[in-house]
Amino acid sequence: TFTDAATFKDAATFRVVNQCTYTVWAAATPGGGRRLDPGQTWVLSVGAGTTTRRIWGRTNCSFDANGQGRCETGDCDLLLDCSSSGSPPSTVAEFNSSQNGRDILDISLVNGFNIPMQLRPTTGACRGIKCSDDINNQCPEVLKAPGGCNDPCTVFKTAQYCCNDASESCGSTAYSQFFKDRCPDAFSYPRDDPATFTCPGGTNYTVTFCP
């Protein structure tokens, strides 16, 4: 998962699509938040020089007219418009920019899983990635959470799971392997570097919930 801020050299557009049979409250940092009923789309523009972007979905939310409330999964400081990362469990699409002008992207399960997700380029020559397995219904008992499947750090908070510092000498565990077996493309624990992918700078993307 990305820990350092970076910038997009080129402008890009992100289409966030809800193909679930239920409402998803999409969230992005930067970008805020938007209620997406089944079939709805949210278009986000990313200007050149934008910092690292994260996109995720929230479930079972209730907000008042001022945009204050809470979500069962992916909640961000009890607000509709997110300015901070969502709370676990949440499936997250992450984007960063490398020194050579390429986009670095992943689907992260480091904060657990709540909604199946696909991330694919709508322009540019690079591959899409997805995590569409039914993880919530297969979740190990100890990781189960209302509406999702927690990551081990949320539950155990120990160095064994790379919870305190991603540079520690920690590696894959039975729990990270559970996620990896079901979503091979996804980032399953903080040091799972092979699970990052690249696209040319300026690529436009579609993030789909329930692909």
The predicted structure's pLDDT at residue 99: 60
| Alpha carbon distance 70, 32 (integer Å) | 15
Do you find a cis peptide bond into 30, omega within 30 degrees of 0? yes
Q: Could you read off the pLDDT of 140-151 as tens digits, one per residue?
A: 999 999 999 999
Q: Could you read off the pLDDT of 85-105 as tens digits, one per residue?
A: 899 999 999 988 766 778 888
Closest CA to 52 of 8, 101, 13, 108: 8
Percent of the chain topping pLDDT 70? 87
Poorest-pLDDT segment among 79-83, 114-118, 135-139: 79-83
> How would you class 56 by CB atoms within 10 Å of its CB: exposed for 0-12, middle for 13-18, buried for 19 or more?
buried
Residues 98 and 104 sit within 8 Å (Cβ to Cβ): yes
**DSSP 3-state of 1:** coil
Q: Could you read off the pLDDT of 185-204 as tens digits, one per residue?
A: 998 988 776 667 888 888 89
Domain coordinates of the chain in residue numbers?
Answer: 12-209
For the record, the structure tokens of 206 come out as 């579609």
For residue 106, name the pLDDT band (cuts at 50, 70, 90).
Answer: very high
| Alpha carbon distance 17, 118 (integer Å) | 10
Q: Could you read off the pLDDT of 31-60 as tens digits, one per residue?
A: 899 999 999 999 998 766 665 789 999 999
For residue 6, name the pLDDT band (cuts at 50, 70, 90).
Answer: very low
Q: 12-209 architecture in CATH? A: Sandwich (2.60)
